[in-house]
């Protein structure tokens, strides 16, 4: 596969592949509980389970029906229930291909999960996570995201939602649907906001502080977090944010979203004036049609002249001027969140995930002539300058190493730096820039090239799920993280930095250097590993080149 810069990477893969090919960790659907726990919430009583020092509540409904005449609209009111409702099984994920060890996908998917040390009214920080998978796949029970260790080891409350995805969550009908379908292009994001409202109304019952909520997410979840950071409806319900390997600088303009809707109607042979026939199309058929439409980035790049690129196809948040008033970080950081601290960053070897997932072994055989040929389709006449800058900055690097470095920063690094710089220029709350750098020794299948720090490897690390077994048995090899015991230290650092940020607004951890806020003079970046370090002006030569060719 040719080298793909950030916007084209997202266009081709639409961030949908991001984290969808991770093996699904087998969360037991009904583990044996140490005891059961009941709690009263706004709509009735629920029963969860206590297991190894953590109370877990699965599949709590936070919104009503979104099928039938509620398709593409706001949910029906959630009805209260009598008696005690079990919250012992994960709720249905949004419509997508079936997910191993999870319930069958369903249109009615508005469920969330809560992990807490205790339902004791202690005001713990709340970590509200949006799953990856672009805007088309994933769930709040995705592999690696079990919140038990974060809750147990760092005394926080973790919440994860299911919400509408794909065309059922992001089909733009505002121009043809009338007032009942206002905001239709952002139903999936408004679902997440409803999850945040649920937290505001209920999380005190779970030992969480509704006045101290951090939104965070990886890959597509980072892009969702970028949107929430700029959405007026979300603003009252969170206090800080973290955008991880998913810098959502720009989203889909409504004009492009309208073109996508036209493409869909044409594919289904539905006249625009008869668009309501969409309400009768089975969800499975809509999913199949979704796969036939051109894949497009859920957030868009710019060309070298600064114009936002427009490509019809694909589904993600729409800059409709109301729900999402403007691009999240273009032309500036959102004034709405000026006083909310932010973490942003990426993994050092993002592309190795996609090499693994796409079975791309050819990159590992590149020489420097081959490197130029592989980059030229994306960078044209700028290719020699780009390679020269990287060879100067990294004189000992091989051609495959430079390919991974260029691909990885183009995918997730440039947008992350852009966000950090714009947040600094706003002059409000601090922003902290990071690189995750723990190196997995596992080779990419078919090559001798190590995974390093691939896209999505941060999930299990920041959730503190890289940890020796509690029963004292020998540790199993981590799927991406490998076998080295240093991974346990790196995971603890990552989790402690994030939970401290959630608690105080400033990331810190024992045995980790003090992390200065990002600024435009020294540009400090935290490199997260078994031994963390602060690096000033990291990638300065490389970033200067990206700026010179109009990519940053």
Give the catalytic positions in this structure: 219
Mean pLDDT over 53-76 rounds to 98
Q: The tokens 């700028």 sit on which residue?
A: 382
Sorting pLDDT into bands at 50, 70 and 90, what band is 27?
very low
Residue 437: other Cβ atoms inside 10 A = 20
Query: How many helices (H) and strands (E) are present in the chain, helices listed first?
Result: 16, 17
The tokens describing 187, both together, are 């139903």
pLDDT at 18: 42
pLDDT at 293: 86
Mean pLDDT over 529-539 rounds to 98
Residue 410 DSSP symbol: I
Percent of the chain residues past pLDDT 70, beyond the cut:
91
Q: The tokens 């009214």 sit on which residue?
A: 121
pLDDT at 4: 34
Mean pLDDT over 221-233 rounds to 98
Mean pLDDT over 492-521 rounds to 98
Please provide the average confidence, as pLDDT, over all residues in the chain.
Answer: 92
> Where are any strands of DSSP class E within 131-274?
157-161, 208-218, 240-244, 252-253
Lowest mean pLDDT among 48-62, 259-273, 463-477, 525-539: 463-477
Mean pLDDT over 490-503 rounds to 98
Q: Residue-wise over 147-158: b if at least 16 C-beta within 10 A, else e?
A: bbbbbbbbbbbb
Boundaries of every domain in the chain: 341-548
Q: Report the interhelical angle of 368-379 vs 399-408 (nearest 10°).
A: 20
Q: Which residues contact residue 362 at a Cβ distance below 8 angstroms, ignoring those fewer than 6 apart? A: none
Report CA-CA distances (Å) from 296 to 255, 428, 530: 14, 33, 37
Sorting pLDDT into bands at 50, 70 and 90, what band is 89?
very high
Sorting pLDDT into bands at 50, 70 and 90, what band is 296?
low
> Where are any strands of DSSP class E within 204-359?
208-218, 240-244, 252-253, 318-319, 342-347
pLDDT digits (tens, 9 = 90+) for 344-386: 999 999 999 999 999 999 999 999 999 999 999 999 999 999 9
Separation of alpha carbons 507 and 496, rounded Å: 8
Separation of alpha carbons 470 and 448, rounded Å: 33
What's the Rg (C-alpha) of the chain? Answer: 22
> Where are any strands of DSSP class E within 235-349?
240-244, 252-253, 318-319, 342-347
pLDDT digits (tens, 9 = 90+) for 131-155: 999 999 999 998 789 999 999 999 9
pLDDT at 314: 87
Separation of alpha carbons 117 and 384, rounded Å: 55
Percent of the chain residues past pLDDT 90, beyond the cut:
86
Q: Residue 369: is it exposed, middle or buried by C-beta count within 10 angstroms (0-12/13-18/19+)?
A: exposed
Task: List the one residue out of 420, 411, 500 whose CA is nearest residue 464.
Answer: 500
Element (H, E) at 45: strand 44-51
The tokens describing 303, both together, are 């060309």
Domain 341-548, CATH among 3.30.565.10, 3.40.50.1820, 3.30.110.30, 2.60.40.10: 3.40.50.1820
Q: How far apart are the first and last CA of the chain?
A: 23
Is the confidence at residue 183, as pLDDT, over 70? yes
The tokens describing 464, both together, are 């503190």
Report CA-CA distances (Å) from 82 to 43, 79, 85, 177, 302: 9, 10, 8, 36, 53
pLDDT digits (tens, 9 = 90+) for 431-463: 999 999 999 999 999 999 999 999 999 999 999
Report CA-CA distances (Å) from 441 to 444, 452, 466, 484: 9, 6, 15, 8
Mean pLDDT over 88-101 rounds to 95
pLDDT at 371: 98
Report CA-CA distances (Å) from 450 to 4, 169, 210, 404: 20, 37, 42, 11
Mean pLDDT over 324-350 rounds to 98
């Amino acid at each position: 596969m040719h080298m793909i810069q950030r916007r084209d990477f997202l266009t081709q893969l639409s961030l949908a592949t991001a984290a969808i090919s991770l093996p699904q960790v087998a969360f037991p659907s009904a583990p044996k509980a140490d005891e059961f726990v009941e709690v009263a919430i706004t709509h009735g009583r629920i029963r969860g389970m206590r297991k190894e020092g953590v109370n877990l509540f699965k599949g709590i409904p936070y919104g009503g029906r979104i099928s039938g005449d509620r398709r593409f609209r706001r949910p029906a009111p959630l009805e209260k229930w009598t008696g005690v409702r079990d919250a012992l099984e994960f709720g249905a994920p949004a419509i997508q291909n079936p997910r191993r060890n999870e319930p069958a996908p369903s249109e009615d998917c508005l469920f969330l999960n809560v992990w807490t040390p205790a339902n004791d009214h202690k005001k713990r920080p709340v970590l509200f996570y949006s799953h990856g998978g672009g805007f088309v796949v994933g769930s709040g029970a995705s592999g690696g995201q079990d919140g038990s260790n974060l809750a147990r080891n760092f005394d926080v409350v973790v919440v994860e939602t299911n919400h509408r995805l794909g065309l059922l969550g992001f089909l733009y009908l505002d121009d043809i649907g009338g007032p009942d379908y206002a905001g239709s292009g952002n139903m999936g994001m408004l679902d997440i906001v409803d999850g945040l409202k649920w937290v505001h109304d209920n999380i005190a019952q779970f030992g969480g502080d509704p006045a101290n909520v951090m939104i965070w997410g990886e890959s597509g979840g980072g892009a969702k977090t970028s949107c929430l950071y700029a959405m007026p409806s979300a603003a009252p319900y969170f206090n800080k944010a973290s955008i991880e390997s998913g810098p959502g600088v720009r989203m889909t303009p409504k004009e492009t979203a309208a073109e996508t809707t036209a493409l869909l109607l044409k594919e289904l042979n539905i006249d625009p004036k008869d668009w309501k026939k969409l309400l009768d199309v089975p969800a499975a058929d809509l999913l199949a049609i979704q796969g036939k439409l051109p894949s497009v980035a859920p957030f868009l790049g710019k060309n070298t002249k600064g114009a936002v690129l427009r490509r019809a196809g694909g589904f993600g948040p729409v800059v409709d001027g109301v729900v999402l008033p403007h691009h999240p970080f273009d032309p500036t950081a959102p004034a709405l969140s000026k006083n909310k601290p932010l973490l942003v960053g990426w993994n050092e070897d993002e592309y190795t995930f996609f090499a693994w997932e796409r079975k791309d072994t050819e990159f590992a055989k590149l020489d420097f002539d081959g490197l130029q040929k592989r980059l030229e389709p994306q960078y044209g006449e700028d290719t020699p300058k780009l390679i020269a800058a990287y060879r100067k900055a990294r004189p000992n690097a091989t051609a495959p190493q430079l390919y991974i470095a260029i691909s990885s920063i183009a995918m997730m690094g440039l947008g992350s730096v852009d966000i950090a710089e714009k947040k600094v220029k706003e002059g409000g709350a601090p922003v902290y820039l990071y690189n995750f750098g723990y190196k997995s020794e596992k080779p990419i299948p078919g090559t001798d090239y190590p995974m390093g720090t691939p896209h999505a490897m941060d999930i299990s690390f920041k959730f503190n799920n890289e940890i020796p077994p509690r029963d004292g048995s020998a540790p199993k090899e981590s799927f991406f993280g490998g076998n080295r015991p240093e991974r346990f230290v790196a995971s603890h650092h990552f989790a402690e930095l994030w939970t401290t940020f959630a608690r105080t607004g400033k990331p810190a951890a024992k045995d980790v250097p003090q992390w200065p806020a990002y600024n435009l003079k020294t540009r400090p970046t935290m490199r997260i590993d078994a031994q963390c370090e602060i690096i000033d002006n990291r990638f300065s030569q490389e970033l200067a080149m990206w700026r010179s060719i109009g990519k940053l």
